[in-house]
Amino acid sequence: MKKIVMAGFAAAMLAFGAINSAVVGNAAPDPSHVAGQIMVKFRDNGAAAGVLRQHGLSDGPGIGDTGARLIKVPEGKELQLVQALSRNPAVEYAEPDLVVTPATNDTYFPRQYALQNTGQPIDNTLDKRVMAAGTVDADVDAVEAWSVTTGSGVKVAVLDSGVATDNPDINPQVVDRANFSSSATRGKDQVAEDYYGHGTHVAGIVAAIADNGRGVAGVCRGCTILAGKVLSDSGMGSTSALANGINWAVSRGAKVINISLVVGASVTLESAVNNAWNAGVVLVAAAGNGGNENIFYPAAYPNVIAVGATDNKDLKASFSTFGPSWVDVAAPGVNVYSTFPNHRFALASTYSRSQGYDVGNGTSMSAPIVAATAALVWTTPAGTSSASVRTKLESTGEKVTEMQEFWAHGRVNAYNAVK
């Protein structure tokens, strides 16, 4: 149920909104206004409830310090009610809540429904439709969150298959690398390279450079990445490598560790997890892609936030592992758009993915959205400890009715978590 814009992007967009123009931004046929709500300012707020009642409406919350109120209306009746209310002398103005898109100038931002869902269909890099139109605002409200914080200065460790050195939308965000995997390969500059592709995709979801005219935008666009390579070039890993990666991330100052990996239970792994948590690090892990309630680690450890997957209609992804007793939150994980290496990588042939940018599917894609949200929270007043960040993130999740039985705390909402 959210509005639009954030302050950061172009006063021009806000100005457009104020004069009530149609679709702002690119010419895509997105819905021009948010369904189910309008903005109304009364000359005298004392009259608000009575006027609204005449139209069968209830009063709503104020919108910042604008004096306007956000009023819920039946879907499809937005413009009709705007007109009717505008004629009422007690109303200073009424206007639709316009959808502003794109929110960044990143080429593929319109495909990042997870960040801002305007009900758009999703294409992959080859312009092949991969996802039908979604539900407006079935997203984590990343754009709105950026009006509060972009997570500047927070380090997120991505323990995965490495991060490609040749994708300019994510490589510059990587501030440190280490290799704990069984692959001794070296890429450009002799650093651990990603020849599998998974880690580059996960890292891009967290922190791809926003507003640089290319590619995608990370949910924590101001974050930096610690790229711990714990998966080999063929995507194989070990709990010892993962435990080493966790330990390294803590030593390098990570505030959040993302683990889009699932393994069996391991005393060593849980020790590494607990050490990181006790050192003040938030750990986030994919719940798994089993489509059932079978438990995976490290997500199931108490000190790790377990993340399930949703789609662009705010429904549970069919493949997502679930279970409100241990899956804490959910985030979009179906056709999530992000960065890939610009060289040959294993996932490209396995799943027909393009170099550069393409979609990924799995709770592996959901976890980094949550990790990035945790990173944003670290920069807010709630960011005093790993426990306070986790509590804020979980307590502000959206309890989507259709998914109540799947996760403990709903689908994350970055704006709710930071505001």
By CB under 5 A, name the binding residues for Ca ion. 2, 106, 137, 139, 141, 169, 209, 212, 215, 304, 306
- β-pair type (336-339, 357-360): antiparallel
> How many alpha carbons lie under 13 Å from residue 218 in its C-beta half-sphere?
35
**Would you mind telling me the total number of residues written for the chain in this entry?**
419
Which entry of 137, 160, 194, 328 is annotated as an active-site residue?
Answer: 160
Report yes or no: 357 and 112 within 8 Å, Cβ to Cβ: no
Report which residue type is found at 412. V
Which entry of 260, 266, 364, 386 is annotated as an active-site residue?
Answer: 364
Which residues make Cβ contacts (< 8 Å) with residue 188, sequence separation at least 6? Answer: 165, 166
Q: How far is the CB of 317 from Ca ion (least distance, A)?
A: 19
Report yes or no: 201 and 335 within 8 Å, Cβ to Cβ: no
Pick 16 or 296: Cβ nearer Ca ion:
296
Pick 173 or 183: Cβ nearer Ca ion:
173
Q: How far is the CB of 118 from Ca ion (least distance, A)?
A: 8
Which entry of 106, 141, 198, 320 is annotated as an active-site residue?
Answer: 198
Pick 169 or 314: Cβ nearer Ca ion:
169
- 347 phi, psi to nearest 5 deg: -65, -25
Pick 176 or 211: Cβ nearer Ca ion:
211
Q: How far is the CB of 64 from Ca ion (least distance, A)?
A: 16
* Strand ranges inside 76-194, DSSP E: 91-98, 100-101, 122-123, 129-131, 155-160, 174-179
Query: Helix (H, G, I), strand (E, B), or coil: what is residue 398?
Result: strand
Q: Is 364 a catalytic residue?
A: yes
Q: How big is the chain by its Cα radius of gyration, in Å?
A: 22
Determine the Cα–Cα distance for residues 51 and 57; give it in Å rounded to an integer.
Answer: 9
Q: Which residue has the tokens 């990790």?
A: 371
Pick 59 or 144: Cβ nearer Ca ion:
144
Q: How far is the CB of 289 from Ca ion (least distance, A)?
A: 17
Q: How far is the CB of 139 from Ca ion (least distance, A)?
A: 4
Q: Is 343 a catalytic residue?
A: no
Determine the Cα–Cα distance for residues 327 and 285; give it in Å rounded to an integer.
Answer: 10
Tokens representing 125 are 């890099």
Instruction: List active site positions.
Output: 160, 198, 364
